[in-house]
Amino acid sequence: MFSCNKSENADNSQARTEAALDVIKTRVSVRHFTGEKLTDAQIDTILRAGMSAPTAVNKQPWAFVVVDDPETLMLLSDTLKSSRIENGASHAIAVCGNLQKALEGEGQGYWVEDTSAATENMLLAAHAMGLGGLWVGVYPISERVKSVSEILGLPNHIIPMCLVVLGYPNEQPEVKDKFLQENIHYNKW
């Protein structure tokens, strides 16, 4: 029979809260990597974290393309100059919207929010695992969407929203406190 001491439960809850908030507050964009390859298990964990994100009406309108081929990584790097894939990244994951799974009509655009939530989950998971990550925007820049779609051979109903560049960090970017009280309004503007 399972029994739980209220004090132990409160301590565990506090520890989980602090650990989660630490991961959120200390995640930074990593642009330089060691070149060491991530394992399939690490990539699986990151993908599972992404697919744990909330979505509008639970549509889960996403698709993921995992890239570890050096030639394809270089093509993506050449296309997306700010991607830093050439700086020793192990993998890039294209986080894409699947328009065949998206809501119809006016709500179709929610795929952007859904894939953005998945992307942040993936970056947080990578950071929690001691890995570095970088969010590289693709959508809505039509030239980027076209180029990435061609490189990855995406069908027309799959739209690349961003790349998550991953690897072992070869730098320790400064953590910045981004909280600004002036950005908060209560009840009305």
Name which of 99, 10, 104, 115 is nearest 55 in CA terms.
Answer: 115
Give the model's pLDDT for residue 141. Answer: 97
- Sorting pLDDT into bands at 50, 70 and 90, what band is 9? confident
Is residue 30, in this structure, part of any structural domain at all?
A: no
What is the CB neighbour count within 10 angstroms for residue 139?
A: 19
Is residue 21, in this structure, part of any structural domain at all?
A: no
* Alpha helices in 30-167, H assignment, sequence order: 40-50, 70-79, 110-128, 142-152
Is residue 155 scored above 70 in pLDDT?
A: yes
Give the model's pLDDT for residue 1. Answer: 45
Contact 37, 187 (CB under 8 A): no
Is residue 102, in this structure, part of any structural domain at all?
A: yes
**Is the torsion defined by CA of 26, 30, 34, 39 positive or negative?**
positive
Dump pLDDT digits (tens) for 21-71.
999 999 999 999 999 999 999 999 999 999 999 999 999 999 999 999 999
Contact 80, 148 (CB under 8 A): yes
Q: Which one-letter DSSP state was computed for residue 149?
A: H
The label of the residue with tokens 């639970």 reads 58
Give the model's pLDDT for residue 53. Answer: 99
Residues 6 or more apart from 135 whose CB is under 8 A from it? 29, 119, 123, 162, 163, 164
Range of the domain at 81: 38-173
Is residue 79, in this structure, part of any structural domain at all?
A: yes
* C-alpha–C-alpha distance, residues 35 and 70, integer Å: 11
Is residue 84, in this structure, part of any structural domain at all?
A: yes
Domain containing residue 153: CATH number: 3.40.109.10
Is residue 29, in this structure, part of any structural domain at all?
A: no
Is residue 19, in this structure, part of any structural domain at all?
A: no
* Alpha helices in the chain, H assignment, sequence order: 6-26, 40-50, 70-79, 110-128, 142-152
Give the model's pLDDT for residue 117. Answer: 99
Question: Which two three-digit tokens encode residue 29?
Answer: 């964009």
Domain count, the chain: 1
Give the model's pLDDT for residue 180. Answer: 97
Name which of 64, 69, 60 is nearest 111 in CA terms.
Answer: 60
Is residue 151, in this structure, part of any structural domain at all?
A: yes
Dump pLDDT digits (tens) for 74-87.
999 999 987 667 78
Phi, psi of 33 (to 5 degrees): -125, 165
